[in-house]
Amino acid sequence: MTSQDGSLDRLKISAHTRLARLYGAHRAEAITDQLMGLVQRYQPVIYHHTRDPGLDETDTLLITYGDAIRQREEPGLMQLERFLEDFYPDLITNIHLLPFYPFSSDDGFSVIDFKQVRPSVGQWDHIDALARRFGIMFDLVLNHCSRENLWFIEYIQNQEPGCNYFIEMDPQTDVSEVVRPRSSPLLAPIHTHRGTRHVWATFSEDQIDLNYSNPDVLLAMMDIFLFYLSKGARLVRLDAVAFLWKELGTSCIHLPQTHEVVKLMRDLVDAIAPWVELVTETNVPHQENLSYFGQGDEAAMVYQFALPPLILYTLNRGNADLLTNWALTLAPPPEGGTYLNFTASHDGVGLRALEGILPPYEIQSLLDCMHQFGGYVSMKANPRGPDSPYEINISYFDALRGTRTGPDQWQIERFLCSQTLMMTLQGVPAFYLQSLIATPNDIAGVERTGRLRSINRKIWDWGPLAEAMKDARHPSHLVSQELAHRLRLRKGSKAFHPASRQRVQDLGSNLFVVIRDSEQQRVYGVFNVTSVTQTLALMRLVPKNDDYQYQDLISEATYNEEDDLVLQPYQCLWLVATNKS
Question: Per-residue pLDDT for 4 more than 80?
Answer: no
In b/e form, how buried is each residue of 304-339, taking b as 16+ CB within 10 angstroms? Answer: bbbbbbbbbbbbbbbbbebbbebbeebeebbeebbb
Question: Per-residue pLDDT for 54 more than 60?
Answer: yes
Q: Which of 350-364, 417-431, 499-513 has the lowest mean pLDDT?
A: 350-364
Specify the pTM. 0.96
What span, in angstroms and rounded, lies between the C-alpha atoms of 511 and 29? 58
Question: Per-residue pLDDT for 526 more than 70?
Answer: yes
Q: What is the pLDDT of residue 331?
A: 84
Question: Per-residue pLDDT for 156 more than 60?
Answer: yes
What span, in angstroms and rounded, lies between the C-alpha atoms of 525 and 96? 27
For the stretch 434-461, pLDDT in tens is: 999 999 999 999 999 999 999 999 999 9
What string of DSSP letters covers 377-423? EEEE--SSSS-EEEEEES-HHHHTSEETTEE-S-HHHHHHHHHHHHH
> Considering the chain, what percentage of its residues have pLDDT values greater than 70?
99
Average pLDDT of the chain is: 95
Torsion of CA 540, 541, 544, 546, to 10 degrees: -110
Q: What is the pLDDT of residue 2?
A: 53
C-alpha distances out from residue 8 to 42, 43, 233, 272, 278, Å: 13, 10, 20, 8, 19
What span, in angstroms and rounded, lies between the C-alpha atoms of 512 and 420? 12
C-alpha distances out from residue 573 to 319, 371, 578, Å: 18, 31, 15
Handedness of CA 90, 92, 93, 94 (dihedral sign): negative
Q: What is the pLDDT of residue 440?
A: 97
Question: Per-residue pLDDT for 221 more than 60?
Answer: yes
Residue 513 near residue 504, CB atoms below 8 Å: yes
Of residues 511 and 288, more confidently modeled: 511
Read off the pLDDT of each residue in 415-431 and give the average, rounded to a whole number.
98
Read off the pLDDT of each residue in 483-512 and give the average, rounded to a whole number.
97
Angle, helix 360-372 to helix 307-317, in steps of 10 degrees: 80
What string of DSSP letters covers 487-544? HHHHHT-GGGSTTSEEEEE---TTEEEEEEE-SS-EEEEEEE-SSS-EEEEGGGTS--
For the stretch 348-365, pLDDT in tens is: 999 988 888 888 899 999
| CA atoms within a 13 Å half-sphere pointing along the CA-CB vector of 274 | 9
Read off the pLDDT of each residue in 476-503 and give the average, rounded to a whole number.
97
Q: What is the pLDDT of residue 405?
A: 95
For the stretch 307-318, pLDDT in tens is: 999 999 999 999
Angle, helix 307-317 to helix 411-424, in steps of 10 degrees: 140
Question: Per-residue pLDDT for 233 more than 70?
Answer: yes
| CA atoms within a 13 Å half-sphere pointing along the CA-CB vector of 517 | 5
> Considering the chain, what percentage of its residues have pLDDT values greater than 90?
88
Catalytic (active site) residue 408 = no
Read off the pLDDT of each residue in 208-222 and give the average, rounded to a whole number.
98
Strand partners of residue 94: 61, 135
For the stretch 533-550, pLDDT in tens is: 999 999 999 988 878 899
- State yes or no: cis peptide before 161, omega within 30 of 0: yes
> Given pLDDT bands bounded at 50, 70 and 90, which one contains residue 382?
confident
Q: What is the pLDDT of residue 464?
A: 96
> Given pLDDT bands bounded at 50, 70 and 90, which one contains residue 581?
low
Q: How would you classify the pairing of strands 233-238 and 277-280?
A: parallel
Residue 204 near residue 105, CB atoms below 8 Å: yes
Active-site pick, 59, 67, 106, 239: 239
What span, in angstroms and rounded, lies between the C-alpha atoms of 372 and 374? 6
Q: What is the pLDDT of residue 6?
A: 84
What residue type is assigned to position 260 of the chain?
Answer: E
Q: Which of 122-136, 280-294, 386-400 has the lowest mean pLDDT?
A: 280-294
What string of DSSP letters covers 431-452? EEHHHHTT----HHHHHHH--G
For the stretch 294-339, pLDDT in tens is: 999 999 999 999 999 999 999 999 999 999 999 999 888 888 899 9
> Given pLDDT bands bounded at 50, 70 and 90, which one contains residue 184?
confident
Q: What is the pLDDT of residue 50?
A: 85
> Coil, strand or helix: which one is 159?
coil
Angle, helix 25-47 to helix 215-230, in steps of 10 degrees: 10
Read off the pLDDT of each residue in 71-82 and give the average, rounded to a whole number.
93
In b/e form, how buried is each residue of 212-234, taking b as 16+ CB within 10 angstroms? Answer: bebbbbbbbbbbebbbbbbbbbb
Q: How would you classify the pairing of strands 388-393 and 349-350?
A: antiparallel
Question: Per-residue pLDDT for 1 more than 70?
Answer: no
Residue 497 near residue 518, CB atoms below 8 Å: yes
For the stretch 191-204, pLDDT in tens is: 999 999 999 999 99
Cβ partners under 8 Å of residue 26, min gap 6? none
